Amino acid sequence: MFSTRPGGDVRSHLRATAQLSGMSVAEKNELLFQAGINFNDLPAWQKRGSGVYWEDYQRPAVNPNTGGTVSATRRRLKRDLDLPMRDAYDEFILRFVRRP
């Protein structure tokens, strides 16, 4: 049988997934608490995930034709460990989907 990790069995992973999918949020929190994990104490990135996306930023530059100081727009990857929740998350995602 295919194994996802040493000593693992796909069937046991499928059973665990099926069991969790039928639980309420309160039951899942209780399960974590029994394992010594308080969900409310976890950092945001462990509860909601993290994001990596391109962001534009302004950088001081010199115009080679005039020698004057200008502002140049550049792009960089941003790592976001504090993603918004609920409606704010929908709006956050729509900014990327609607981007020209």
Buried b (16+ CB within 10 A) or exposed e, 54-93: eeeeeeeeeeeeeeeeeeeeeeeeeeeeebeeeeeeeeee
pLDDT tens digits along 46-75: 999 999 999 999 999 999 999 999 999 999
For the stretch 80-95, pLDDT in tens is: 999 999 999 999 999 8
Please report where in the chains the tokens 């040493």 appear, as a residue: 6
Domain boundaries, the chain: 1-42, 44-100
Partner residues linked to 42 by β-bridges: none
pTM for this prediction: 0.62
